[in-house]
Amino acid sequence: MKNAVWFEIPASDLERAIVFYERIFAKTLKRESMGGVDMAVFPYERPAAGGAVVKGPAYRPSEDGKGPVVYVAADGEIDAILARVAAAGGKVALPKSALPGVGAIAHIIDTEGNRIGLHAA
């Protein structure tokens, strides 16, 4: 396995979640269905981390926003992404914070109630 990481962000309303993520990242997600699970895949290149917003019987958003935090790369875009969050229906839970030797992080709450991290090197 070479730098392989995959994440799935649960959604109750997949279309609403797709609109949210496409708006804040200004990217188009690829809609797919696998094994009865509907998903929208974030753009990625191999080998790299990739992931999707998913809706299926085994997936439920974190009801209190305190589940695991997935960090999505936001190099060079973190400020622009954060500026679009409220208009897309989400909230900024942790403003951009500099971490020496790590870069900067921020946390958002998506339209489904999930806490998602942003990371800029």
Q: What is the CATH classification number for the domain harbouring 52?
A: 3.10.180.10
Domain housing 107: 5-120
Contacts of 96 (CB under 8 A, 6+ apart): 78, 79, 82, 104, 105, 106
- Output the six-digit token pair for 13: 């309303």
Tell me which residue of 75, 67, 83, 79 sits closest to 116, measured CA to CA: 67
Burial class (CB in 10 A: 0-12, 13-18, 19+), 40: buried
Q: Tell me the one-letter amino acid at 11.
A: A
pTM of the model: 0.83
Per-residue pLDDT tens digits for 4-46: 578 889 999 999 999 999 999 999 999 999 888 999 999 887 6
Greatest alpha-carbon span in the chain: 43
- pLDDT band of residue 110 (cuts 50, 70, 90) is very high
Query: How many structural domains is the chain composed of?
Result: 1
What is the per-residue pLDDT for 51? 83
Given a contact cutoff of 8 angstroms between Cβ atoms, the answer to whether 97 and 113 are in contact is: no
What is the per-residue pLDDT for 47? 63
Q: Can you tell me the distance from the alpha carbon of 22 to that of 108, in angstroms, rounded to the nearest whole number?
A: 14
Query: Looking at residue 42, what DSSP letter applies?
Result: P
